[in-house]
Amino acid sequence: MTIQRCGWCSDDPIYVAYHDDEWGKPNFNEAHLFEMLCLEGQQAGLSWITVLKKRDNYRQHFFAQPIASIAALTDEQLAEKCLDAGLIRHIGKLKAIRDNAIAWQNLRNNGTDMVQWLWAFVDAKTINNDVPDYKQAPAQTEISNSMSKTLKKNGFKFVGPTTCYAFMQAVGMVDDHENSCPSKAK
């Protein structure tokens, strides 16, 4: 029997695992939230599967390290990372990961609980949208616009409203699984 997943999910095993095990499921792990915010920014102009296929390399270069270590990366170290074909070789996007780590640390050092702060945009609970077809899901919302403006004001990069909405979907702030998908929260 074939499982009828959301229409955007191909049969690529990486995509299937991401769809079934992660996308739309509430996540409150600080390191994971940071990783996903940064990875969504890496996608700009590319397909999500491109990012997913490079995810292990991003983890090796960045996300397996503490956020403070990422914040301390030099321009020279980032330029060196830009030579690795296992990453998206766009220096602005790689610098954004470091800049986001600096912004994240600054907020945390000022007493902000980053998990609570991010989840506060959705009042700490998942928004479960009615999605008969994935093509009808929004690309951005008032909430993702607000999140984008707030993140940018605090020094984050590559966090436009569409990126923020994709982040919200990825970490389960929003459940945009199709209504007929077995992964849809009931």
Q: Which two tokens stand for residue 111?
A: 């007493």
Query: Using N-to-C axis directions, what is the helix angle for 161-170 and 30-43, rounded to 10°?
Result: 140
End-to-end Cα separation, the chain, in angstroms:
22
Phi-psi region of 47 (alpha: psi -120 to 50; beta: other; left: phi over 0): beta
Q: Which two tokens stand for residue 117?
A: 């702060």
- Check if the beta carbon of residue 148 is closer than 8 Å to that of residue 163: yes
The residues annotated with a catalytic role in the active site are: 18, 40, 48
